[in-house]
Structure 1
Amino acid sequence: MGLRVVGAGFPRTGTTSLKAALERLLGAPCYHMREMFGRPDDAVVWRDACAGVMPDWDRFLAGYAAGVDWPVSWFWRELSAEFPDALVLLSRRESVERWYQSMDQTVLEGARRMMGGDSTRPPTPATLTPEQGRAMGEIMQALFGGAFGDPRDRDKVIAAYERHLAEVRATVPAHRLLEWQPADGWQPLCAALDLPIPDEPFPHENTTADMRARINDMGGQ
């Protein structure tokens, strides 16, 4: 099948909603960070990719029509080269401040715990083997450390987000690039993919409150 859409957006840019929307439009799965918990062997593959050992992407992502969120969007350069006909989807929030506020209350809170910013560390899911659990931790260290340096430093986090947007815009040819934000809904996606707009509301999933509840559950709070 090959990927038809390569997500290039950072977390908390509507990626869970995009996953649901793209699966509705393309009729096939969309890879998202959540996939690793259902496919725990993937953690080792992504860990190796973060270390520079790339998988056979076509084989590894067989059956998926799209991918969004980290770790997929961390490898947007490699994946857009591997799938040259794929749309590169740069999801973002309506403002940098809104993105940071969402990140700060959710994903970054978990990252700070994992990277030593909090005495409470989320437990390794019971479904993971020790090797898979180590790989998951190493992935998070590589992604958050690689992207932000220190996820506790607001200015560094915001600068990394803005730098990432600029890099994608400067690199991807205009005919392959779609910038999208949650308020845009179906229309830009359907136009870029040459598909009809579904006669149903656009999915809006994984609110800040939803994600905070999951983080608190993981931390035993």
Structure 2
Amino acid sequence: MALKVIGAGPGRTATFSTKFALEHLGFGPCYHMAEVFRHASRNIALWQDVADGNPDWDSIFEGFHSTTDFPASSYWRELAEYYPDAKVLLTVRDPESWFDSVSETIMSERMLGSLEGSPLMRMFKGTYLKPYGDRVHDRAFMTDWYARHNQSVIDTIPAERLLVFHPKEGWEPLCEFLGVQVPPEPFPRVNSRDELGGASDEQGGLPSDPAQLEAFAGGYIDQLKAGAFG
């Protein structure tokens, strides 16, 4: 099964809302960081292989038709080459608000500290955290990285293959890009604090044990999806 849509927008660019939108339009299941967590005992090892330079994209995305979010978005260039018929979706937001968001959630000291020394953190450092090194809390560095990331996608992917998209635009541009009809339901909306950020506050971070992480993630995805179209 080949990917049909590759999400190039990093985490905290409404990637959960976009995941649910793509699934609603028939491009699911959609691979998101939460899917890494849902089957952590299998997926951490596969993404560690990516970090070690031995990606098996077919195994990672087996059963999926699209992607959003980290860690897949960090490999947009490789995936666009590996799946040449897939379209590329770049979800965007203001760089300053992006930095504020990641700093409060997925890249907060609380979140990353809860995983220090775990296999998951080793994988994180080898994949989506790798470009930042020890500068993840450096506003100027991070916002510059974010702007350069977006521009690199725009400069690399042919215009007919790329949609630069803010979910506030709703269904119309996304449906036109994918060649499908606009559905009657409202565009899915996930609370900005709920993309694994707000929920992790309750326990001081994410579980480092893969079995506990799987149990947490599975229920969490279902919970968010149930409320996304409300």
Q: Report the TM-score, using the length of structure 1 for normalisation.
A: 0.84
Is 1:70 aligned with 2:73?
A: no
Cα distance in 2 between the residues matched to 1:190 and 1:210: 24
Relative to structure 2, which stretch is displaced further, 97-106 or 164-173? 97-106
Unpaired runs of 5+ in structure 1?
115-120, 125-129
1:143 Cα deviation after fit: 3.6
Structure 1 match to 2:102 = 103
What corresponds to 1:139 in structure 2?
Answer: 123
SS at match of 1:108: coil
Greater shift, 30-39 or 99-108, is seen at 99-108
Give, in whole Å, the separation in 1 of the partners of 2:195 and 2:55: 33
Secondary structure, aligned partner of 2:79: helix
The match for 1:186 among 155, 171, 183 is 171
Aligned residue for 2:188?
203
Question: Aligned partners of 1:180 and 1:162: how far apart in 2?
Answer: 15
Count matched residues: 203
CA RMSD of aligned residues (A): 2.1
2:5 is aligned with 1:5: yes
Determine helix, strand or coil for the equivalent of 2:25. Answer: helix
Q: C-alpha separation between the residues in 1 aligned to 2:165 and 2:145?
A: 19
Q: Measure how far apart 1:60 and its partner are.
A: 3.1
Instruction: Give deviations 1:26-78, integer Å, cap 9, x for gaps.
Output: 153000000012112111111110221111x2343121110110111111111
Cα gap change, 1:195 to 1:173, in 2 (>3 Å): same
Question: Any stretches of 5+ residues in structure 2 without a counterpart?
Answer: 206-230
Partner of 2:52: 51
- CA–CA distance in structure 2, aligned partners of residues 170 and 210 of structure 1: 29
Equivalent-residue separation in structure 2 for 1:179 and 1:166 (angstroms): 10
Equivalent position SS for 2:108: helix
Report the Cα distance in structure 2 between the residues aligned to 1:213 and 1:12, rounded to whole angstroms.
Answer: 12
Task: Report if aligned partners of 1:18, 1:68 keep a CA contact under 8 Å in 2.
Answer: yes
Amino acid aligned to 1:183? K
Q: Is the 8 A contact 2:74 2:128 kept in 1?
A: no
Report the Cα distance in structure 2 between the residues aligned to 1:144 and 1:88, rounded to whole angstroms: 18
Q: Does the C-alpha gap of structure 1 residues 159 and 27 become closer, same or farther in structure 2, counting only changes over 3 Å?
A: closer
Preserved contact between residue 123 and residue 219 of structure 1 (Cα < 8 Å): no
Aligned to 1:169: 154
- Provide closer, same or farther for how the CA distance between residues 58 and 145 of structure 1 changes in structure 2, counting only shifts above 3 A: closer
**Aligned-partner Cα distance in 1 for 2:63–2:26:** 12
8 Å CA contact 1:15–1:69 kept in 2: the answer is yes
TM-score by length of 2: 0.81
2-side partners of 1:85 and 1:210: how far apart?
A: 29
C-alpha displacement of 1:138: 1.2
Give the residue type in structure 1 aligned to 2:47: W
What SS does structure 1 have at the residue aligned with 2:47? helix
> Does structure 2 retain, via aligned residues, the 8 Å contact 1:144–1:151?
no
1: CA distance between counterparts of 2:59 and 2:125?
26
SS of the residue corresponding to residue 164 of structure 2 reads: strand
Q: Distance in 1 between matches of 2:59 and 2:45?
A: 15
CA distance in 1, matches of 2:186, 2:193: 20
Equivalent position amino acid for 1:54 in 2:
P
Counterpart of 2:114, as a letter, is: P
Percent identical pairs in the alignment equals 37
Distance in 2 (CA, whole Å) between partners of 1:106 and 1:197 is: 32
